[in-house]
Amino acid sequence: MNYSYKTVSFLLLISLLYIPIFSCKHPKPKLKVLRVNTTEHYFSSLKTKDVFKLTLKGDSILTGQITFEIFNHNKKRIFADTFSGSDLSFMDDTVLTILQQEDTVKKRMNDFFAESNFKCPAATDADSAYLPDDHESYIDYLDIKSDTSAIGFYYFYGYEGNYNIAYSKKKKKVVTYLSYD
């Protein structure tokens, strides 16, 4: 097959124009950081403190995303949970204005890492009223309960979501050993 110089040039030009237009990857826009709360606390180790971080990103406090992360002393993320900003605005059945909801989110973010949310031992007999239904969570509960040096952290979001987490030395990861409504 003999292609003319014009045909080859035309095909080359089309291929060069096609590639940049259709193969561009547009980066995702970065969300604006609205609030950050960070603290250090013993958790995965009794020798070194971990970093607990709560970050709210988005366009507004109530529509933004909150990311809760825990980093060990090596700066490796060992836990992450994500929920909406509005999940911290619930107050029973009380009707709040937008400003009151935003103030509630700010206060709850500020109080998220209160010392009263940490406990050692993590699991006790008093927790028996909230024992998990599924087998794996029950095994995690027994694991954490058997480790009297395990430090638990309690947090909540949403209308009735309550979560108790601790670092399992057996599994070498953070587990949710109790969660209830």
CA gap 67, 53 in Å, rounded: 8
Which pTM value belongs to this model? 0.81
User: DSSP for 81-129?
Assistant: EEEEGGGG---TT----HHHHHHHHHHHHHHTT-GGGEESSS--GGGGG
Cα dihedral: 80, 84, 88, 90 (round 10): -140
Per-residue pLDDT of the chain (181 residues; tens, 9 = 90+): 555 655 545 554 445 445 454 445 666 678 899 999 999 999 999 999 999 999 999 999 999 999 999 999 999 999 999 999 999 987 666 778 899 999 999 999 999 999 999 999 999 888 877 787 888 888 999 999 999 999 999 999 887 788 999 999 999 999 999 887 7
Angle at 122 between CA 121 and CA 125, to 5 degrees: 80
Partners of residue 167 on adjacent β-strands: 174
Structure tokens at 137: 């969570």
pLDDT at residue 133, as a whole number: 80
Indicate the SS3 state at residue 75.
Answer: coil
Distance between CA 30 and CA 75 in Å, rounded?
22
* Alpha carbon distance 82, 128 (integer Å): 27
Residue 3 contacts by C-beta under 8 Å, 6 or more apart in sequence?
none
The one-letter amino acid at 18: Y
